[in-house]
Structure 1
Amino acid sequence: MRIFFVLLFFSNPLFSFSQISTTKGLIAYYPFNGNAKDETGNNNNAVFNNATLTSDKNGNAKSAYSFNGKNQYIRINNSSSLKNMTTQITISCNVKVNGFYKGKCHWNRIINKGSDYASGNYWLGFCDDAFSKSACVENIPDETHQTFHGSSFFEDWGSGKANAFVKTGIWYTVTYTCDGIYNKLYVDCQLIDSWKATTNGVINNEDLFFGKLDNPQYPYWFNGVLDDVRIYNRALSSNEILELCEKNETKNTIPDAFAEISYSIEKCNKINVELANAVQIKSVKWQIDNLYNSTKEKFSYTFKKEGSYTIKLTYTGNNGIINTISKEIIITKPTADFTIKNTSENKYSFKTISKEKANLLWNFGDGTVEKNSKNISHTYLNSGSYTVSLIAIDKNGCSDTTIQNITIAPLIANKNIELNGDNGNIQAIKSNDVKALDFLPEKRMNTFIQQIEVLNDSIEISFYDNGTIDGDSITVQFNNKIITQHLLLTATGKSFYIKIDPAPATNELIMFAENLGSIPPNTALMIIYDGKKRHEINIKSSKTNNGMVSFVLKK
């Protein structure tokens, strides 16, 4: 009897189980205890990480990483320990899936090292292809028939049979092994798939990624939470995997429900509401103040008047727990009111009064428009009556328009030019008829510099001092009408708008030096803005010569 007892003791699986070591062959281990460091001492630490620390399956804060399925991932540099594993490997992790990748070829990669179709790669992920056989054919993934997969070579992703389907919001322990002869996949300690291996080894020089495949065209983003990642350079036995699961203590209890409110407003007063980021939801109930109720996942409602309203969502989870959340919304129209101030003979400043955030569109009535400026100045080139309008459009498509009229009197040139330190250089203007004015205060030659072809019939011109700021002062006329007088040239430009007439009009602009500054001659840099096109012209003027350019409107 004593001998029989001893044999039973040594054959007890609990005894053999206790002798197992799940650290042997462990080349990378990431418990994610507040960071993405490798705890094996092999220094396979993360070199890039924009994933978000979150709670693990046991509720421990900052003990797992969450990936948003869009742009979050962790990258570990390639190393000798990660690549030289001959024919054997084990990859294990705790994972909770929150959503499914909807891009082209809708696979989902949790862990990946190496290109998608390359010898020696290895990865762990999930997909609907084992069930639907159409991951790269259908545009929309089959979210109810997703299965876990593992591989150490691109052909070795599974036997093709659909295993236990992945549910969102539930923690799993997933383990993939390859011993060079067979691949095996375990979910929560249960062997769910086994298939013959065709691998020639898991050797590649690519970096290791958590959360995606390193391929811009097929990123296979992972949307979920990852924890307790282990990579071995050998295939763990079934007993070792049981021990690993017992360490992880993964229990598939029904998780708490979660949901958010998503809404958009169109046509100013119509709201579209829907359930967002829903997990384990059994039923919902919506309420907008005392105006509207619904039990649908999404609905629309049109408000009859402006005001502040509350959207309340009460949802019941599959575990029976009821939660209530709410969101405040404001239904209102923007105001497109503005003031006008005459700052000079033909120049006006416009200022918005409304405080709401909105896109603004000005129309000054002379063919000139301007976008998104709250305070703006505009110079009119011709006399007449103009209708100025301001349109305000907010993000909800609401708009408001205000119109005001202004009248520009005939542009009269000053009768005398104040001398700017160069007595005798300038003669007084003695003409009172600006329309017939040939502004040449003294007999000077017009030196033609350049003819410029423009695309628009309204262009902006700016004048700067070209070089050292030395007190140059100029008068500018366009088509025998004065645009500006006593303009002191500085490093800060002065801008004007001019209207270009079609051929056969000459469209001549003349710059007249009122003085020569401290460094003769009087020089200016003229910058011309023709829509998106820009021209730069250097003009100089002296006591004997004026600088002249002409414009021609392209047909």
Structure 2
Amino acid sequence: MTFARFALTLTYLLLALTATSQIPTNGLVAHWPFTGNVNDAHGTHHGNANNIVPAQGKMGMNNTAYQFNHANAFIGVPYQSDMNMSAISMCAILKPNAFYTNTCQGNYVLIRGTIGSSGGYFHGFSDNAYNNCNAADTNLYVFSVHVGPITMPNSAMQSNTKVHTGSWYCVVMTYDSGTTKIYVDGALVNTTTGWSTTIGSSTDSICIGKFPWGGPGFPYNFNGVLDDIAIYNRALTQSEIDSYCTNAPLIGN
């Protein structure tokens, strides 16, 4: 086979793979694949971009992700009523480039409302399970989840998986009927049961990449690259999480 024919065959195979790659759609509320814009590929939850830069995604292709490297870099998503839900899955393909190490060390991938508020939910990482707000340790950052007006120790809502800069992760966090789960690269790394409240409801918007209500003292900005984010109104199954982690990085490549 000549090189030209081989290259053409490879191109067709890649195009076919991309065309058939899709994430689970049952219960999908919003999907931001970040393929050249911040629009919702599933519905109308289109974002408003602020100080983000097009970047290479997990598969190494240009303009298939966005880099967040500014204290005021974020995507705002206006409120719609279907952001209120009784169960949820928050999914993200991400690569941290640096840690936010100022007071309380929060790194917010996605936040709705504030932690502990009715209708609120959070996807991100910090070292708060190990240190106080005034002592950052970049060797102890772990993924964490929070939903609704729930009061529990930080350690109960965080994984044991350490977060490292420069590495790609597929992180899925689910909540249903009092149980939260955290999956990292398809592996279940944390389960917490006994949450005695519901997520609740509000008219809050969604913010991707920082905590917009924290003011200059508590921006909790994410410093890194986001390839894909999706939200569902139910807890995904293990096989669906595997499908998301496999297919999400291929969309748009």
* TM bucket, shorter chain: 0.7 to 0.9
2:142 to 123, 144, 147: 147
Structure 1 position 120, deviation (Å): 2.2
Q: Answer whether contact 2:115 2:146 (CA < 8 A) is retained.
A: no
CA–CA distance in 2 between the matches of 1:34 and 1:193? 34
CA–CA distance in 2 between the matches of 1:44 and 1:207? 10
CA–CA distance in 1 between the matches of 2:142 and 2:229? 19
1:238-270 deviations in Å (ceiling 9; x for gaps) = 2211221221469xxxxxxxxxxxxxxxxxxxx
Structure 1 position 47, deviation (Å): 2.8
Structure 1 counterpart of 2:228: 228
1:159 to 156, 160, 164: 156
What count of residue pairs does the alignment treat as equivalent? 224
Structure 1 counterpart of 2:28: 26
Distance 1:211 1:40, change over 3 A: same
What secondary structure, in the 3-state scheme, does the structure 1 residue paired with 2:79 have? coil
2:40 to 30, 38, 57: 38
Distance 1:52 1:163, change over 3 A: same
CA–CA distance in 2 between the matches of 1:172 and 1:189? 10
CA–CA distance in 1 between the matches of 2:185 and 2:57? 16
Structure 1 position 48, deviation (Å): 3.9
Structure 1 position 116, deviation (Å): 2.9
Which residue type is aligned with residue 171 of structure 1? W
CA–CA distance in 1 between the matches of 2:158 and 2:61? 36
Structure 2 counterpart of 1:92: 91
Q: Answer whether contact 2:93 2:169 (CA < 8 A) is retained.
A: yes
CA–CA distance in 2 between the matches of 1:97 and 1:249? 16
CA–CA distance in 2 between the matches of 1:137 and 1:149? 19
Q: Residue 201 in 1 paired to residue 199 in 2?
A: yes
Structure 2 counterpart of 1:547: none
Structure 2 counterpart of 1:211: 209
Considering fraction of residues, name the structure with more strand: 1
Q: Answer whether contact 1:69 1:224 (CA < 8 A) is retained.
A: no
CA–CA distance in 2 between the matches of 1:199 and 1:60? 42
Distance 1:69 1:143, change over 3 A: farther
Q: Answer whether contact 1:113 1:206 (CA < 8 A) is retained.
A: yes
Structure 2 counterpart of 1:77: 78
Q: Percent identity?
A: 34
Distance 1:179 1:159, change over 3 A: same
CA–CA distance in 2 between the matches of 1:79 and 1:160? 27
CA–CA distance in 1 between the matches of 2:171 and 2:162? 13
RMSD: 2.0
Q: Residue 53 in 1 paired to residue 67 in 2?
A: no
Distance 1:161 1:63, change over 3 A: closer
Which residue type is aligned with residue 79 of structure 1? Q
Q: Residue 169 in 1 paired to residue 166 in 2?
A: yes
What secondary structure, in the 3-state scheme, does the structure 1 residue paired with 2:166 have? coil
TM-score (norm 2): 0.82
Distance 1:56 1:201, change over 3 A: same
Q: Answer whether contact 1:172 1:187 (CA < 8 A) is retained.
A: yes
Distance 1:222 1:246, change over 3 A: same
TM-score (norm 1): 0.39
CA–CA distance in 2 between the matches of 1:162 and 1:89? 18
Structure 2 counterpart of 1:283: none
Which residue type is aligned with residue 127 of structure 2? D
Which residue type is aligned with residue 95 of structure 1? L
Structure 2 counterpart of 1:348: none
Structure 2 counterpart of 1:129: 128
CA–CA distance in 2 between the matches of 1:108 and 1:186? 18
Structure 1 position 162, deviation (Å): 5.2
Q: Answer whether contact 1:185 1:191 (CA < 8 A) is retained.
A: yes
Distance 1:49 1:182, change over 3 A: same
Structure 1 position 202, deviation (Å): 4.4
Which residue type is aligned with residue 237 of structure 1? T
Distance 1:172 1:236, change over 3 A: same
Distance 1:48 1:58, change over 3 A: closer
Which residue type is aligned with residue 36 of structure 1? V
CA–CA distance in 2 between the matches of 1:167 and 1:69? 19
Question: In the TM superposition, what are the counterparts of 1:234-273 in structure 2 within 5 Å?
Answer: 234-248=234-248
Structure 1 position 161, deviation (Å): 6.3
1:486-519 deviations in Å (ceiling 9; x for gaps) = xxxxxxxxxxxxxxxxxxxxxxxxxxxxxxxxxx
Which residue type is aligned with residue 211 of structure 1? G
Distance 1:227 1:155, change over 3 A: farther
Structure 1 position 109, deviation (Å): 0.5
Show structure 2 runs of 5+ residues with no match. Answer: 1-22
Structure 1 counterpart of 2:187: 190
Structure 1 position 160, deviation (Å): 5.7
Structure 2 counterpart of 1:62: 63
Structure 1 moving runs of 4+ over 6 Å: none
Distance 1:94 1:101, change over 3 A: same
Structure 1 counterpart of 2:16: none
Distance 1:75 1:195, change over 3 A: same
Structure 1 position 129, deviation (Å): 1.6
Structure 2 counterpart of 1:9: none
Distance 1:165 1:219, change over 3 A: same
1:503-553 deviations in Å (ceiling 9; x for gaps) = xxxxxxxxxxxxxxxxxxxxxxxxxxxxxxxxxxxxxxxxxxxxxxxxxxx
